Structure 1
Amino acid sequence: MKAVPQHPVVIIPGVLFWDSLYDIMKEALGGYLPEEKIAIVPVSLIDWIGFPPSPEKSTNRVMSALDRTIREIEQKFPGEPITLVAHSGGGSVAMVYLLEKPFQGERYHPGKHIKKLITLGTPFHTSEHYAKIKTDFIFSHLQADFFDRVSVVSVVSDKYHGNSEGSFVEKMCYQFYKNVLDDGNVAGDGIVPAKSCFLEGAVNVTIADAEHLPTPHTRWYGTKEGVEQWIQWL
């Protein structure tokens, strides 16, 4: 078993995904550090969509849940550095939170204990409308000294190549990738093109064999096999 830091970890679900889908990631990480030090932000589908629908406010709702979870972890393990592990669009929510700037009227001060953010298949470059609300905000406030305060590791898989003239899977990947970037003829994790996740100032890591969606019978980032490919950066 690979030795990893025994600090608390907070898992942030991706957009339109809910907390129980990440139990498998918590279990996999529990093979490396005590499970009582691993928390999943309690996020529901309604948090992402809103009721009545207000997806433009989803970041604020999820940041509120994230902040509560971090405060609970700080109380349980005072003084210990905390690592955030965020999947998909949860990674850009985490970045907005960590920037400590007013976002749609709300601002958080996570404090000095958040030392690292690991994103898994998080597109920082995107043309998708609601995702772009976050990424535009990030790039308007992100400064080089941010990475002196928080180490960021952006992990993405290049398992699937999009091809508009290829197989059924390649055509599907092409469409998904094209929804994120203008070009679908690139490699990615089946939903997000790899190059959309590259963030200047972060440690950008490309892994070979992980899928994006946290669905049964897939080797996504949160499975035992998926975690094994990025655990060294924890």
Structure 2
Amino acid sequence: MAVALASVDHSFNFRFPTFCCSSKPPTTSYRPAVILPGLGNNSGDYHKLELTLKEYGVASVVAKVSRLDWLRNAAGLVDPNYWRGTLTPRPVLDWYLKRVDEAVQEAKQLTQGGTLSLIGHSAGGWLARVYMEEFGVSQISLLLTLGTPHLPPPKGMSGVIDQTRGLLDYVEKNCSKAVYTPQLKYVCIAGRYIQGARLFGNSNVNANAAVPIEDDLQISEVAVVKDMNNSTPNSPTFRARFIGQGYKQVCGQADVWGDGVVPEASAHLEGALNVTLDGVYHSPVGSDDVSRPWYGSPAVVEQWVYHLLS
């Protein structure tokens, strides 16, 4: 599957080389990576991703998180800011940031004085930005996010509730803006697994068109991989309507493309190198490398691993 990239001013065109997994040991070792689990996931969900990266010569450390750990977030319920929708990462997410720092310190032992990459899946992507803001970026040369909802949901829209209770607003206002540079690269991967639908009526979105992004959310570079075999049904299925309601809570719109959880437009970040991959599901839980591959499936990793090797 070819991936074409075009910059906003159309002055550059990029094409990623194709890499193939091999049973032979890699001849080159690249900077190590720290994997940040998404909401509800545990470290074990990323074991296969670790093995896949190892085949490319990329050693990785997964932040130690269990499913039960996420119950710690319930502490936010006693914070008045939760009910106001103005919640901040600390102290509710102190435990997660500590786990990330422990993983970073472990990965530093593998860098031999070099830098490392952060790979944030889902909420792990914006939590990586919080970590970078508070702990510094001197040892980090790449932030790569997989299906991360970077943008806070729109305000004042009927039926839309900010599920982060203000956390994404905090990130947008307080974390450094993404700037893709040779010293620190920001790469955001979005998936186009299923198009949502409105709860009532039909969707008018063209199935083979990229999700439109408003002018104030324009991205620096976009790679869109289209599947011309996909088509929008005349009558959306219950599944599409159900998923569409999830998309609406994230971006304010139901009939958009996404990875089944996070809309495509929300997974992109202004200033980053933004890439969309077709047919990619959001989570390792419930995924299948053949019929429902997720961002960490070997065939999908093959399409973004280039960023870790450069």
TM-score interval for Structure 1 and Structure 2 normalised by the shorter chain: 0.7 to 0.9
5+ unaligned residues in a row in structure 2: which ranges? 1-17, 21-27, 77-86, 154-160, 203-235
Mapped pair 1:92 → 2:126: yes
Aligned to 1:103: none
What letter matches 1:48 in structure 2? W
Q: Is the 8 A contact 2:120 2:145 kept in 1?
A: yes
- SS of 1:54's equivalent in the other structure is helix
Deviation, 1:142, is 3.8
Q: Find the counterpart in structure 1 of residue 224 from structure 2.
A: none
**Shift of the alpha carbon at 1:162?**
0.6
> Structure 1 residue 123: deviation in Å?
0.7
Deviates more, 1:85-94 or 1:38-47: 38-47
SS in 2 for 1:80: coil
1:50 aligned onto 2:83: no
For the structure 1 residues 32 and 202, does the alpha-carbon distance in structure 2 shift closer, same or farther, using more than 3 Å as the test? Answer: same
Matches within 5 A, 1:71-220: 71-100=105-134, 108-109=135-136, 111-127=137-153, 129=162, 131=164, 133-144=166-177, 147-148=180-181, 150-164=184-198, 165=202, 166-216=236-286, 217=288, 218-220=292-294
Q: Using the TM superposition, give the Cα deviation of residue 147 of structure 1 relative to its aligned residue in structure 2, in angstroms.
A: 4.8
Other-structure match for 2:40: 16
Higher helix residue share: 1
Shift of residue 47, structure 1, vs aligned partner: 2.5
RCO higher in structure (CA 8 A, sep ≥6): 2
CA contact (8 A) 1:16 1:45 kept: yes
Q: How many angstroms does 1:72 deviate by?
A: 1.4
Task: State whether residues 133 and 175 of structure 2, in contact with CA within 8 Å, keep that contact through their aligned partners in structure 1.
Answer: yes
Alignment partner, residue 97 of structure 2: 63
Q: Is the 8 A contact 1:49 1:58 kept in 2?
A: no
Q: What root-mean-square deviation, in Å, do the aligned CA atoms of Structure 1 and Structure 2 show?
A: 2.3
CA separation in 2, counterparts of 1:189 and 1:72? 31
Identity %: 29
**Which structure has the bigger radius of gyration?**
2
- Distance of aligned partners of 1:145 and 1:86 in 2 relative to their CA distance in 1, 3 Å threshold: closer
TM-score by length of 1: 0.85
Answer yes or no: is 1:2 the counterpart of 2:23: no
Quick one: distance in 1 between partners of 2:49 and 2:177? 31
Runs of 4 or more consecutive aligned structure 1 residues displaced over 4 Å after TM superposition: 55-58, 143-149
Equivalent residues of 2:193, 2:279 under 8 A apart: yes
Show the counterpart of 2:61. Answer: 39
Instruction: Indicate the SS of the match to 1:233.
Output: helix
Quick check: 2:283–2:294 contact (8 Å CA) kept in 1? yes
- Give me the whole-angstrom Cα distance separating, in 2, the residues matched to 1:7 and 1:194: 28
Q: Are 1:25 and 2:49 matched, yes or no?
A: yes
Report SS of the residue matched to 1:86.
strand
Q: Does 1:228 align with 2:302?
A: yes
Q: 5+ residue gaps in structure 1?
A: 101-107
Query: Take 2:124 and 2:96, find their aligned partners in 1: how far apart are those partners?
Result: 8
Paired AA for residue 273 in structure 2: V
> How many correspondences in the alignment?
223
Deviation at 1:220, TM superposition (A): 0.7
Give the superposition deviation at 1:144.
4.8
